[in-house]
Amino acid sequence: MRLLRTFVSVVAALLIAASLPAVATAHSSRMDAIRQLPIAVQAERSAQMEEAATQAGALGTYWDQAADQIVVVTPASGNSSFKASDVDQLGLNIRVETRDIEQKDIVAIEDLLEGWKWDASAKNVNFVSLFDARKGKVVIASESNPADFQYFQDHFPGEVEFARGHLDLQSRLNDSPAHWGGAQLNLNGSKQCSSGFSVMRSGTAYMMTAQHCYVSGQTVYGGTGLNWGTIQYVASSADVELIGGSTYGGSIYVGGATGTGHAVHGASDPVSWNTYCVSGVTTYEHCGHTYAGLTGAVGVDGHTYTGFAEFTGGTQTQGGDSGAPWYFYDPRGLIYVAGVHTGLVTIGGITYMIATPWSKAASSLGVSIITG
């Protein structure tokens, strides 16, 4: 196989648990206060922190669960002015660490991604790339031959790491109009996936699911063969698409195989200090997952998608869960949608479930959330 160009990287954080029990108790009350805020406010503060760190030249962030801290990673060269005190007004618990990598090198790898060209023989090659803020390296995971990615290790010595990784794409059962998220989808009996959540585009309701499930114009059916509509809009660089032509309601299925409806209250990007749930047609609802940051790129059958959210911990998703909703229960038990499920990848013994975050999905397709 010959790969004509390259791909790769991220901007945000990996969650890998650390062990700093001495400071965890001292700071837990600070983050507990943040967790009591409305989810939209939490997401805004997370975005403000990320923006401040990026503007000051930081490389990325990761969540230290044991210490209950957000770790902002900066270059050891000193080419960053970020200090934890820069964002004191946000009320977050932050510490700063350094790594031997430069932002310009991460950007250079991302620029290669922008110019990526797929060789025809790469049709069935899948990959995931991410910036591991804890390691201070760009990690490329694929089942392909490591030699296919030697370019990166040659041109960015000590900054790129190749890992064997398998990307599983993941495709309850008798849902009627107005359709809900978390239900079974298929192509008249084949290629099972899950519905995500209902959205509004130019005054018309649609159901969102994962783009790798179906192609534009295909008719999508439910578990008992009921016509859900056709694929009418497909995002250009995000793994999301819209089903239209039927009616779609503002609820998702939660619970087990049968499932019960739960109204969607809103939508917001995930934050590192809360835990999240996913509800698909194969593994049903499971919670306790932690947001671990953003991937740089995911390659699927000749298509490159960017900007995925990573989740770790808890029960793993399986085939058929693709397209399922990721969401958060606030302290009142209200559901806020956080993203659309794509699949999972295991890198270095750690499994990451990946999803298109809400803001990426919404902006890619020009939609707003439908609530119940």
Instruction: Quick: pLDDT tens for 205-223.
Output: 999 999 999 999 999 999 8
342 domain-assigned: yes
Distance CA 57, CA 273 (A): 23
Residue 129, both tokens = 């790339």
- pLDDT of 22: 35
Which class for 75: exposed (0-12), middle (13-18), buried (19 or more C-beta within 10 A)? buried
278 domain-assigned: yes
177 domain-assigned: yes
The answer to whether residues 99 and 59 touch, using CB atoms and an 8 Å cutoff, is yes
Residue for token digits 């969401």? 327
Q: Give the burial string for 138-150 (b: 16+ CB within 10 Å, else e).
A: bbbbbebeeebbe
241 domain-assigned: yes
For 169, phi and psi rounded to 5 degrees?
-85, 135
The answer to whether residues 322 and 172 touch, using CB atoms and an 8 Å cutoff, is no
DSSP calls for 147-190: GGGHHHHHHSTTTEEEEE--EEE-------SSEEET-EEEETTE
Amino acid at position 309, single letter: A
Which class for 299: exposed (0-12), middle (13-18), buried (19 or more C-beta within 10 A)? buried
CATH (domain of 264): 2.40.10.10
Distance CA 93, CA 69 (A): 5
- pLDDT of 21: 35
Residue 219, both tokens = 């008719």
Which class for 341: exposed (0-12), middle (13-18), buried (19 or more C-beta within 10 A)? buried
Q: Which of 242, 194, 255 is nearest to 222 (CA)?
A: 194
43 domain-assigned: no
The pLDDT mean for the chain works out to: 84
Tens of pLDDT along the chain (372 residues) come to 222 222 222 222 222 222 223 334 445 578 999 988 888 899 899 989 999 999 999 999 988 988 999 999 999 999 999 999 999 999 999 999 999 999 899 888 777 755 555 555 555 566 777 888 999 998 888 777 777 778 888 888 999 888 877 666 544 888 889 999 999 999 977 889 999 999 999 999 999 999 999 999 999 999 888 899 999 999 988 999 999 999 999 999 999 988 889 999 999 999 999 999 999 999 999 999 999 888 767 776 667 777 889 999 999 999 999 999 999 999 888 999 999 999 988 887 788 899 999 999 999 999 999 998
**Count of domains for the chain:** 1
For 42, phi and psi rounded to 5 degrees?
-60, -45
Contacts of residue 149, Cβ cutoff 8 Å, sequence gap at least 6: 3, 6, 140, 142, 160, 162
DSSP calls for 196-215: -EEEEETTEEEEEE-TTT--
- pLDDT of 354: 93
Domain extent for 277: 169-369
220 domain-assigned: yes
- Residue 99 zone, left/alpha/beta (φ > 0; ψ -120 to 50; rest): beta
- pLDDT of 302: 67
360 domain-assigned: yes
The answer to whether residues 123 and 303 touch, using CB atoms and an 8 Å cutoff, is no
5 domain-assigned: no
Residue 351, both tokens = 């499994």
